[in-house]
Amino acid sequence: MNNKTSAVILAGGEGKRMKSNRPKVLSEVMFKPMLRWVIDAVKASGIDDICVVTGSKREFVEEYIETLPFAVETVFQSERLGTGHAVMQAEEFLKRHSGSDVLILNGDAPFISVETIKDAFDTHYQSADSNNLIRGCTVISAEVADPMGYGRIIREASQDSSDMLKAIVEEKEATDEIRAIKEVNSGAYWFETDSLIEALGKLTKSELTGEYYLTDTIAIIKDSGRAVLTHKAKNADSVLGANDCVQLEMLNNIARERILLQHMRNGVNIPCRDGIMIGCDCEIGANTVILPSTVIRGNTKIGCFCEIGPAAFIDGCSISDGTVIRNEFVKNKTI
């Protein structure tokens, strides 16, 4: 991935079903806003130029972005006129990155990974080159057990490369045969930036909804003779988002399990997981024991051979080797 790449993150959704006074993208998964999960994955992929498209309750998102330790640009989508319209608001940002490639993704899909972003970029370049095509767009897809509600990926059967995309068919327009397909659109894409700008200028409103759909740019780019590809993520969780608190709890459970397993693989002793929650940015040394009903969050760093819990709450602390903390609330301390 070259240093000219950029990213546009769509974060303008109102998220009414969350029944929150804050935008959906600021809902937390293991103590971190979903938007920050996405931004961190983009940054860790080597993309520094990021534009976030805000919308409903924009002031909350803008205020949060101001707290980040690095610069992130924002633009405002004043009307909810679809994903294509959202990307249109970033036109000036896109024009400043002419001649490169841009990643478009959703701010409420926290499990998009560095591996997926980088692997999809490789497909975006290499599959086009290997087929003597000019790159245009690469759709990031995933294979899921229950594809209901997602757009289905239709691949070109007649092409030598299985990466070639024929179409994305939305469920409401799909036949029973197409609905049986389990490979779905994640809502994340790599675009050759100038192709995207040109395609956005040709978008028309849906007669049914009055919205501009980003997926319509795919046919426009395909008709221009450029390569339209698909890259299937290795982990189906890449497509997951949350529209209400029930789905948010599901995301938290997935993240919690991943985090606990990773710490145990790194030598942290968790003999019983009951009630244990550890934030994704916490560091814990080997041979430390974490006991039930313990919450560890913030940028906490715990050394080796410690005993934490039961019923400890630790937030933003630095804890030295061999420390024992039981049934305590400890915040922003060095111990």
pLDDT by residue (tens digit) across 143-159? 998 898 888 999 887 54
Closest CA to 86 of 33, 137, 20, 14: 14
Task: Tell me how far CA of residue 156 lies from CA of 131, 161, 230, in angstroms.
Answer: 13, 8, 10
User: Which domains does the chain possess?
Assistant: 6-239 (3.90.550.10), 266-331 (2.160.10.10)
Low-confidence ranges of the chain (pLDDT < 70): 1-3, 127-132, 158-162
The pLDDT tens digits for 272-303 are 999 999 999 999 999 999 999 999 999 999 99
Specify whether the CB–CB gap between 140 and 238 falls below 8 A: yes
Query: Nearest-5° angle of CA 62, CA 68, CA 70?
Result: 110
Specify whether the CB–CB gap between 307 and 268 falls below 8 A: no
Specify whether the CB–CB gap between 24 and 15 falls below 8 A: yes
Supply the mean pLDDT for the chain: 91
> pTM, whole model, 2 decimals?
0.92
The pLDDT tens digits for 186-216 are 999 999 999 999 999 999 988 878 889 899 9
Closest CA to 79 of 211, 244, 214: 211
Q: Let me know how long the chain is.
A: 335
d(C-alpha 321, C-alpha 314), whole Å: 15
Q: b/e per residue, 243-275, with b = 16+ CB within 10 A? A: eeeebbeebbebbbeebbeebeeeebebeeeee
pLDDT for position 140: 95
Closest CA to 161 of 197, 186, 189, 126: 126
What is the Cα 322 distance to its own chain's centre?
Answer: 37
pLDDT for position 127: 66
